[in-house]
């Protein structure tokens, strides 16, 4: 019994002398490493605060950098304890590859979100057209972009599709042209109708003076002479100007007794 106790005691002493310094060293490295990571995190925050990156991207990148540094620190500490990390790293790499393949669509959306947030082809508040939808950008997240359409529907677009396809941004220049069309009868005065419609646009508070509004003949229809009416406004006022000018233009033409004809067809009957 004493022999067995002596043997256990000796093994314990050997374990303490062999692994004790390693454990203490690993604990110290872990504590110091966490402290250094915290300092580096503050430095990253300072750099990000001076940049023009979106808040959501700053938060995500800060978390990603912190997590990566902690994983490297954990691998270093385990290596100091004598744990073989080669197989673990190989398994981790294989798992990462499998995860990447399984989440390829999500990773594509993540990459698209990062590109959008860094290069800023669009920003919150812009009126855009993408993936067949037109609306105001309500929010840009890491994986999706959220649009608010004119009829107050929320459209969620995957960032991978948005970043890899064409985007029409109506707000880049700060102004947008509103394309309208009025039809007047063939017997009416084109010049008079143009003056009336130009005055309607000039009197509207949301129509910009520059670029200057325009009215011109856009075509000769079956029943009417078609006039292209082109006011300019700020992107956020697009739909208000669109509906107002149609309504006010119709009322002004009616008040001036300028006919806006119904679709009609003239039939000539040949005598036999």
Do 58 and 90 belong to one domain? yes
Query: Are 94 and 14 in a shared domain?
Result: yes
Domain coverage including residue 249: 176-255
- pLDDT > 60? residue 1: no
Question: Region 242-249: what's the mean pLDDT?
Answer: 94
Q: How confident is the model at residue 45 (pLDDT cuts 50, 70, 90)?
A: confident
Give pLDDT, residue 95.
66
Mean pLDDT of the chain: 81
Cα separation, 7 vs 179, whole angstroms:
94
Strand, helix or coil for residue 234: coil
pLDDT at 246: 95
192 pLDDT above the threshold of 70: yes
| pLDDT top residue among 123 and 88 | 123
Query: Where residue 44 sits, what CATH number does that domain have?
Result: 1.10.287.1260
HSE at residue 75, side-chain half, CA atoms within 13 A, is 13
> Which residue stretches of the chain are H helix?
2-50, 55-80, 86-102, 104-119, 159-164, 190-203, 238-255
Examine the domain organization and report whether 138 and 196 are in the same domain: no
Three-class DSSP category at 255: helix
pLDDT at residue number 12:
63
Residue 113 pLDDT > 90, yes or no?
no
Distance of alpha carbon 216 from alpha carbon 1, whole angstroms: 111
Question: Each residue of 196-226: pLDDT tens digit?
Answer: 999 999 999 999 998 899 999 999 988 899 9
pLDDT band at 16 (very low <50, low <70, confident <90, very high): low
CATH of the domain at 143: 2.30.30.60
pLDDT (average), residues 56-65 = 71
Question: Do 210 and 237 reside in the same domain of the chain?
Answer: yes
pTM (whole model) above 0.85: no
In this prediction, residue 101 has a pLDDT band, given cuts at 50, 70 and 90, of low
The predicted structure's pLDDT at residue 14: 59
**What is the pairing mode between strands 133-140 and 144-148?**
antiparallel
Asked whether residue 153 falls in the same domain as residue 186, the answer is no
Domain assignment present for 76: yes
Number of domains in the chain: 3
- What's the pLDDT at 18? 61
Residue 242, domain CATH = 3.30.70.100
| Residue 62, pLDDT above cutoff 80 | no
Res 230 pLDDT > 70: yes
Whether 24 is in a domain gets the answer yes
Assess contact for 179 and 227: CB atoms under 8 A: no
Looking at the structure, tell me whether residues 238 and 187 fall in a common domain.
yes
Residue 269 lies in a domain: no
């Amino acid at each position: 019994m004493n022999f067995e106790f002596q043997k256990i005691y000796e093994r314990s002493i050997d374990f303490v002398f062999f692994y004790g310094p390693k454990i203490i060293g690993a604990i110290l490295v872990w504590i110091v490493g966490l402290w250094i990571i915290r300092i580096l995190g503050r430095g990253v925050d300072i750099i990000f605060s001076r940049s023009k990156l979106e808040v959501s991207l700053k938060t995500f990148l800060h978390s990603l950098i912190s997590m990566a540094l902690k994983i490297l620190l954990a691998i270093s500490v385990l290596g100091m304890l004598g744990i073989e990390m080669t197989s673990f790293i190989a398994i981790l790499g294989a798992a990462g590859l499998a995860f990447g393949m399984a989440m390829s669509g999500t990773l594509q959306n993540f990459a698209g979100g990062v590109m959008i947030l860094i290069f800023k082809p669009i920003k919150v508040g812009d009126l855009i057209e993408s993936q067949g939808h037109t609306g105001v950008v309500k929010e840009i997240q890491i994986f999706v972009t959220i649009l608010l359409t004119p009829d107050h529907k929320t459209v969620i677009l995957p960032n991978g599709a948005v970043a890899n396809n064409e985007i029409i941004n109506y707000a880049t220049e700060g102004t947008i042209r509103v394309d309208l069309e009025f039809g007047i009868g063939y017997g009416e005065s084109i010049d008079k109708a143009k003056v009336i419609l130009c005055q309607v646009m000039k009197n509207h508070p949301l129509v910009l003076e520059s670029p200057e509004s325009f009215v011109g003949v856009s075509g000769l229809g079956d029943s009417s002479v078609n006039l292209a009416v082109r006011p300019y406004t700020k992107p956020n006022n697009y739909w208000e100007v669109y509906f107002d000018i149609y309504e006010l233009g119709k009322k002004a033409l009616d008040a001036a007794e300028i006919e806006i004809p119904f679709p009609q067809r003239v039939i000539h009957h040949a005598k036999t």
